[in-house]
Amino acid sequence: MTTFKFSQWAMTLILGGVLFTACNKKDPEPENEQEEINSMVVTFSPTGGGSPVVFSFLDADGPGGLPAVIAAPALRANTTYNVGVALAKVKGAAVESKNAEITAEGTVHQFFFVFNPTGLAQHTYSDTDASNRPIGLANRVVTGAAATGALRVILRHELNKAFAGLNATNYLQAGGETDIEVSFNVAVQ
């Protein structure tokens, strides 16, 4: 009988220790995961009036598979545009906007606009995060003379936005990861 009581007592102690240890485990902090984005719309609205020019990108089935659908109508030469960027996760008919999330997490997100050649257009930011650093959902672009080239629009997250001299040519040095990068062929006429 003594063996049974000792075994029961020992088993209770062991199970209690296991349960106590399991209950005291701390869950790891969730990481700020890469955004799931497969749609980008960049709207160029001329400040002097006129119809907006809409660049669009959609990769409906994600990386691999079918090629993305990209459109980039011509921009007018020597024109100032207010430029808005809209990002979404599109799955069938469901469209989940990502702009509110990017704004809410503005201190860890920034867009970069890389024109090639650089004289194709000049970019400035029109929005800022809580630390007064740029985000890039709202922008201003001034086109140069008639030319052709490319525009890469890149959204980075978890970068060091305080990196000295951070710009569209050195953004990789600020660390972080790319959420989405789209290259548009651009004609300025």
d(CA 73, CA 79): 15
pLDDT of residue 96: 97
d(CA 163, CA 4): 68
Q: Is 152 exposed, middle or buried (0-12, 13-18, 19+ CB in 10 A)?
A: middle
Q: 92, 55 in Cβ contact below 8 A? A: no
pLDDT at residue 105 is higher than 70: yes
pLDDT tens per residue across span 64-75: 889 999 999 999
pLDDT of residue 34: 52
As a whole-number percent, the residues of the chain with pLDDT over 70 amount to 81
pLDDT at residue 114 is higher than 50: yes
pLDDT at residue 7 is higher than 80: no
Q: What is the largest CA-CA distance in the chain?
A: 98
pLDDT of residue 65: 85
pLDDT tens per residue across span 132-165: 999 999 999 999 999 999 999 999 999 999 999 9
Domains of the chain, start order: 39-188 (2.60.40)
Mean of pLDDT over the chain: 87
* pTM assigned to the model: 0.81
pLDDT at residue 5 is higher than 60: no
